[in-house]
Structures are given as structure tokens and as C-alpha cells.
Amino acid sequence: MRKFAAALAAMLLLCAFPAYAGKAAENKAAEERQTSRVDMVDIVAPIKPIKPEKRPPARAYDEDGDKAFAGTLKEVIRRVMEWDETDRTIYISASELLKVKGMNPEDVESVTFEPDPTVFDAGEYEVYVGDVTPKMARKNRKKKSAGNDLYVRVIAKEVSDESGGSKPEKPFQPGDEDGDAPSGVEIKVTAEGYLPGMWADRPPLFTLGGMPDDGSRYNYAAIAYDERFVILSGDSFSAIDEGQYSLSFAILDGIGDIVAASERYEVMLDFTPPVNIYVNMLSDSKKTFAVIAEDALSGIDAFSVDGGYSWHKGDEHGIFTHTSNPGYTFPAGAIMARDVAGNIAVYPIDFTLPAKTSSSGGGGGSSGTKVRHSPPGQIDFDPYDTLNLRLPGGEMKALIIDDTELPLTLSDEEGKAMSFTAEFAAWGNGEEGAASPDTLILTAASDSRKAVWTFNGVVYKMLANSGIEYLCFRHADGIAAVATEGFTSGTAYARLKAQGVSTRRFDYTITQNGSLADFSLSVINNDDEVEKYELTTDVKKEMYLHDAVVGTARAMLMPFGSNNEGEESL
């Protein structure tokens, strides 16, 4: 009597347990977010004859009624493992198969599992606990993967039959697919808007049929992710959760057992248009611009610049480039991005290409159009200056050209400043001081420590504007050289530049140890957040390195980028 009173007290306590109020609030909020897209299907509480009305799948309590907890099986296991071993009994209320990822039977050896006496008849049921489903256990089948999974299920106890074997007292419980359904019961599913193996931008509607008309109580249920049951008040279900997951449907009897189940439907749903659509001119161009966008679910499929009349694929990095006449204006809504599911995002403002520069005789000036097409912030529209290629001579701690100090320094791995020298040369023939130099060589004054060169994008841009094609760093007998036209690409690079992030915010680091070198990049974006990247030649990365040479100094005797023996052209 004392146990029954404790159980009753625990049940009353669980009705107001805060864990379920929080979960119910989350579910309600998720439903409210979707009501603007589709008409919701009424969802009712589990079948009322099973008490309590909103019964969690598992619960636990001690004999004195001092402790009580209910929730998902994983939540209850975690809670009872904090209790004394004598109190570690979990009562399973759910009739379906329960699966806990990341656990195995050895983890719950100190826990006793019992059928919930308020749901199941005493003495007729027991709880199966294993690392495979009961069906697989009966057939001596092993799990296909090495992952840790715990399976728990209330099953009917077996009794001996006339032939001396054993058989379940009642048909096997739902979910294992080998229980005997009532004769003639078969669920029928009509799917509207379901696209197998394809992303969709609208929720599919499933209409169910086949419920027995024998006076008993039955309900339809939707089963999501092979684990979440949604009891339906009607005969239809609209999938409103975004993402990729499985759906199946079932007919439940009065105690929640599955009497008929459908096949699985693998849905792929994306209702959200692409975000962060940006348009920006390519550097040194008045006719070509780039369009990029982001989509977290189905991904970007195509772009349009004529209001959706025609669509064009982006490159392997998801970037679309388009060339038009200088001064042409694309009206708001003409530039679009579409994801694979079919959702479309539009660029909301006019986009005007810079006009041609015009000049008049007699010392007239020039005119042009500066257009801001990226989010406001640290956007650099000023042209980079040119330099007179004049070096001061001797060692320096920061690069000085034409009496201008540029943001390029050298240090060791501990951050101590190191000196270096600078000279101009012509790449490919090693003629230092050539009349038309195309290379700036910076040589570390000491090779006893690793050389850490740091500089930002202004340095190589100004060198490029001044006629220097290559920037070469030398340490001992090794070099690391980059092309001043640019040596960094990738989706992250395109995104940052399309957002208008200034070249001044791109800080590069090259760490040299003789003929070996590592490249890295740190960027402060328009939100003043620091993005860091290790630069390699892997074009699959969102930021990668190209047009660079790493090796020994003899690489300078060959054309830039030649794949010489012992040298690495990047």
C-alpha cells in the first residue's frame, strides 16, 4: 500500500514537473513559427484512456516518494544515475521502441527497468534492454554499425505453447514490424507535394486512410525521425519541419500499439530563401561584378540578373559573375539568388555599374561614379597610390619605399623584431638592379631563427600599382614569393570582398624556415570580428592560396610558377 501511495504521489508531482512545461513551450513556439506557411494539423494528447494524459515515456521515483522525475529515457537515465543504487529503478510508460544514442547496456547495469504498472498489466510484460532491437536479438542479428545505441522496449512475457516452445502471450509490441496486426487492417497514404529525393520549398500533405470501423478506439499517428510519435486528431498530416528526415505513419489501437504501419517517406524540406545576397564590382573593372549568397539547407542553385527570366549557375565556389555596360543600372529586384529547393531572394536596391571616365581638353579633370553596393561600414573605395621605386639602403625594421613606410615587418617566433634588407630584381634571370625590375626581394638579416613576415593587403596592392609583379621573401637559402596581382581566393574571400571589407583589413603572415614556408591570413570583417585562415593550395577550402612559389633561391632563375625540381609552385 505504501508503494502504491508513493507511486500515486509521484504521478501527481510529475503533472507539474517543469521539464515538460519547457518542452511544451518549445513545441508551441515552433508551431507558431510555421503557421504563416501552412495550415497546422490539430495535434491532440496521447489517447486519453492511458493515464496520465500527457505521459512521458519514462519515469523514476524512490519508495519514500522523496524523489521523482519523468521525461525522455535519456533524461531519466541521467537523473537516476545521480541517485543511490537502491533507488535506480526506471518505469517505462511508452509502448513503442525507445532508442538512446551514445549509450549501451553496460552503462545502465546498475539500473532496473520495469513496465509502468499504471499502463501495463502486472505480470504480463517485461522490459527488454539491449544494444540491438528486440527483433534483431530474437534473430541473433548484430548491429550494422559500431555506434553506441541503447534499445529499451516493453514486451509481452513469453509462455510455453502446446508444442513445447514458447510464444508471446499477446502480439509483439509496435515498431518491430513482426507483430500480427488485426486481420484486414492496412494503412493507406496519399501524398501530395512529396518529392522523393528532391528538395522542396513547400510542405507535403499526407492523407491517411484504412482505420478499422469495428467500434474500437483507433488513432492515426505520424512518426518522425523513426522515434517521435505525433498523435493526429484527423486523417491528414503536413510536414512543416525543415531539413532532411524520415516520416512514416501508423494506426494505433486503444493502448497505443501500432496495428498498421506505412513505408518510410524521406523528406527534404527548405522553406527559407537564401540570405546575405551581396553584389560588388570585381577589382579593376567597370563592367564585371560578382553576386554571392548563402543558404544553409539546400544550398545555392542559380542566379539571375533579369528578374528571374533567365538563371545562371555560379562557379565551383558558388560565385556568379556578370558583365554589362559601364553606367548601366540593374533595378531593385532584378538581381536574384535561388536555392536548390526553389526559394528566391532578391537584391533589394538598384545596382549601378561605374560610368566610363571622361576627360575634356585644356587641362580638364575626370569624372566617374562611386557606387556603394555592400553593407555600410569599413568599405574602401579609394584607389591605391603608386610608389617611386626608390629604396633607402641598409637594414630596416619596416619596409620603406620612396620615403613611405609600409605595413610590412619581420620578427622571430617569439615576436622579437628582426632586421631585413630590400632590393629590386627581375624574376626569371636573376639580374639584380635590372632597368625594369618586376620583383621586390626582402632578405632576413639573420637566418639563425625562423622568420615571421607580417604585412597587409595595401603592401602588395601598392607594389602592383607601381609595376612590381612579385613580392619575394628570403630566409637563408629559401624563398617564398607571391604575385602582387593577388594570391588568395575562395568563397570566404569572395564573400568578404563582396561585403566591401577593405584590403587594409587583410593581414597576412608568412613563417619561413629556409626553403619551407607556412601562410596564414587574419581578416577583420565589417562586424569587427576576426576571421582566421590557414592558407594552403586546397581549392576545396573557403580560403586558399594560389600564384605563389616556395623553395630555394634558384627558383628565381626560372619563370614564375614553373614547377622546378625541388621547388613548389602554388
**Which pLDDT belongs to residue 437?**
84
**Which pLDDT belongs to residue 570?**
55
**Which pLDDT belongs to residue 531?**
92
User: Which pLDDT tens digit goes with each residue over 336-357?
Assistant: 999 999 999 999 888 888 876 5
**Weakest-pLDDT range from 169-178, 211-220, 508-517, 537-546:** 169-178
pLDDT, mean of residues 282-293: 82
pTM above 0.75, yes or no: no
Please choose, from the candidates 282, 277, 294, 372, the residue with its C-alpha nearest in 3D space to the C-alpha of residue 334.
Answer: 277
User: Which pLDDT tens digit goes with each residue over 14-51?
Assistant: 443 344 334 444 444 444 433 333 232 222 222 222 33
**Weakest-pLDDT range from 114-123, 274-283, 322-331:** 114-123
Please choose, from the candidates 478, 466, 458, the residue with its C-alpha nearest in 3D space to the C-alpha of residue 440.
Answer: 466
**Which pLDDT belongs to residue 143?**
53
**Which pLDDT belongs to residue 341?**
92
- Distance between CA atoms of 544 and 489, rounded to whole angstroms? 6
Q: Is the pLDDT of residue 186 over 70?
A: yes
The total of other beta-carbon atoms located within 10 Å of residue 77's CB is 22
Q: Is the pLDDT of residue 136 over 80?
A: no
> Percent of the chain having pLDDT more than 90?
21
**Which pLDDT belongs to residue 206?**
94
Q: Could you write out the DSSP letters of every residue in 37-68?
A: TSPPPPB-PSPTTSSSTT--SEEEE-TTSS-E
**Which pLDDT belongs to residue 215?**
59
Higher-pLDDT residue of 183, 312 = 312
Please choose, from the candidates 480, 501, 556, the residue with its C-alpha nearest in 3D space to the C-alpha of residue 377.
Answer: 501
